Amino acid sequence: MDFGALPFLWEGLKYTVLITLVGVFLGSIVGSIFGLMRLSRIGFVRAIAAIFVEAIRGTPLLAQIFFIHFGIPGLLDLRFDPLYTGIFVIAINSGAYIAEIVRGGVQSIDKGQMEAGRSLGLTGSQTMRYIIWPQAIKVMIPPFGNQFIISLKDTSLLSTIAVADLMYQSRTYTGLSASYFDTYLLVCLFYLAITIPASLLLRYTERRLERT
């Protein structure tokens, strides 16, 4: 086994984890906003959210990466830092899927909960904040965890725009050493070292939620 790739992969792992954590965090904010917009009583607001969600979910992530990193800067005569592009793309992409998670989570709560809140003198926003949202979060956690793992793996596509993640660093090392089998085996192990604990934590969380 050629372990010469380890210094390269450790460096790439930092960027992979950074992009995933920041991207999914921002995506959670984006997804919460658009998810609630999809539940709005105002048709125009629902339409904007639907267009965003369907446009992102209906196009390949790689196409989104190239469009944002090369297409927009080419039109505006700008230059984007690959790292910032990566975070932005993961945030927007995960946000579209999280929006559907949020919408589904809120809709899974019995409508009588909203009526009960209003009967207690709470406003619509207060009922959502104190009654609906806490219950919906329990429903949303499992699919949100799955989305985190998907976004983590999706970061591998960012190597196409020279983001120094795991895949980019592995390609750099194989270009120097031609050690393809060992290097890409280590890459897979690095990803598994993150995804397996994340999956186990997700299952543990699901079991805890079932008991509450």
Kindly report, residue by residue over 163-195, the tens digit of the pLDDT: 999 999 999 999 989 889 999 999 999 999 999
Is residue 130 predicted with pLDDT exceeding 80? no
Would 195 be classed as within a structural domain? Answer: yes
**pTM for the structure as a whole:** 0.90
User: Residue 82: CB partners within 8 Å, gap ≥ 6?
Assistant: 69, 158, 161, 162, 163
What residues make up the domain containing 79?
A: 6-211
Number of domains in the chain: 1
Rank 51-55, 173-177, 204-208 by mean pLDDT and report only the highest.
51-55
Degrees, nearest 5: CA angle 184-157-200: 70
Residue 32: inside a domain:
yes
At residue 212, the pLDDT reads 65
CA distance 95 to 88: 10
pLDDT of amino acid 192:
95
**Domain annotation covers residue 78:** yes
Residue at 203 is within a domain: yes
The 3-state DSSP class for residue 149 equals helix
Residue 69's pLDDT is what? 95
Statement: residue 122 has pLDDT above 80: no
- Residue 1 belongs to a domain: no
Q: In the numeric block, which tokens belong to residue 119?
A: 């009967």
Whether pLDDT at 34 is above 90: yes
DSSP state, residue 157:
G
Task: Find the CATH number of the domain harbouring 73.
Answer: 1.10.3720.10
Higher pLDDT, 14 or 142: 14
